[in-house]
Amino acid sequence: MHTKRKRNLSVTLALLPTWFAAVVVYIGTMFWSIRMSFTDSTLFPSSNYVGFAQYVKLFHSAKWLASLQNVLIFGVLYVSGCLVLGFLLAAALDRKIRFESAFRSIFLYPYAMSFVVTGLVWQWMLNPTLGIQASVRSLGWETFVLDWVVNRNMAIYALVLAGVWQGAGLVMVIALAGMRGIEAEQWKAARIDGIPVWRIYVSIILPQLGPALAAAGMLLAMGVIKTYDIVVAMTNGGPGNSTEVPAKFIMDNLFGRQNLGLATAGATMLVLGVVLAVAPFRYAMYLRSNRAKGAA
């Protein structure tokens, strides 16, 4: 009994710094934000409470509404795009390829680059008068169109393209490593059964990589909510509101527009959205782990 308590003490002590950070920083900031969102704070925190006025303003703001829609579209396409391309690249590299490590480096390097300038390069490349469109047309294909960055309806896909360019390599290494971890016996067995290679990847390997890909997806999702640099560098939210995102909305109002109340209202809605999205998932995990414990 004595040792058990001591053991528990060690665990508690080990987790103390993290508990402290989670409670003081994460929860503390959330409460601070919620409180600020009910005030008329502009440049600095004020304690003049105005009820839900900031929220009313927030949901009357075309920019905010557009940003929610955009981040949803971007998030779904970006995460799934990275996962699909990353998995395909990994599967291709897994097929005993020459220059594997060169290819691997090529697919991974964008992850190391700051978006401040690579965003500008993407802006140039997708700009019809400077980039790929102009080059293809000068080669003779006069009707070729690739104007995503300047086209209201396509600009969000330009962000997705650049985002996938940056993030697919991460999924690739994670998936590739997972594939290397799969037992050789499984391969042999599958080959003996005469199953075609692509079927092996889809029906045998993909399920085994599920958890690894889920972790990769979670990492990417954390990035989605925080999407800021890429937007500022490529489109600055435009044309119109077509690539506005919540993190940029919050940042703009926090500093440039000196509108702390509105910024914190936006952040609060975002936290609420995240909690609503995460809670059922966590609850399911909790139930599952309880069941596992019960079984053991």
Which one among 152, 189, 203, 284 touches another protein, defined by CB under 8 A? 152
CA-wise closest residue to 103 among 161, 172, 171: 172
The four Cα atoms 208, 210, 215, 220 give a dihedral, to 10 degrees, of 130
**Minimum CB separation from another protein for residue 51, in Å?**
18
> Interface with another protein includes 278 (CB under 8 A)?
yes
**Minimum CB separation from another protein for residue 222, in Å?**
5
Q: How far, in whole angstroms, is CA 141 from its chain's centroid?
A: 36
**Minimum CB separation from another protein for residue 203, in Å?**
15
> Interface with another protein includes 40 (CB under 8 A)?
no
Q: Which is nearer to another protein, 8 or 49 (CB)?
A: 8
Which one among 157, 159, 246, 269 touches another protein, defined by CB under 8 A? 246
Residue range at the interface with another protein (CB under 8 A); choices 48-56, 76-84, 142-150: 142-150
> Interface with another protein includes 47 (CB under 8 A)?
no
Torsional class of 195: left (φ above 0), alpha (ψ -120 to 50), beta (otherwise): beta
Which residues are CB-neighbours of 59 under 8 A, at least 6 positions away? Answer: 65
> Interface with another protein includes 191 (CB under 8 A)?
yes
Which one among 49, 189, 203, 236 touches another protein, defined by CB under 8 A? 236
> Interface with another protein includes 285 (CB under 8 A)?
yes
**Minimum CB separation from another protein for residue 221, in Å?**
7
Q: How far, in whole angstroms, is CA 82 from its chain's centroid?
A: 10
Whether 67 and 156 have beta carbons less than 8 Å apart is answered as no
Interacting residues with another protein between 157 and 186 (CB under 8 A): 165, 169, 173-174, 176-184
- Type of residue at 236: N
Backbone angles phi, psi at 226, to 5 degrees: -90, 5
**Minimum CB separation from another protein for residue 44, in Å?**
6
Torsional class of 2: left (φ above 0), alpha (ψ -120 to 50), beta (otherwise): alpha
Residue range at the interface with another protein (CB under 8 A); choices 14-22, 48-56, 76-84: 14-22
Which one among 50, 73, 150, 206 touches another protein, defined by CB under 8 A? 150
If one counts every other C-beta atom within 10 angstroms of the C-beta of residue 88, the result is 15
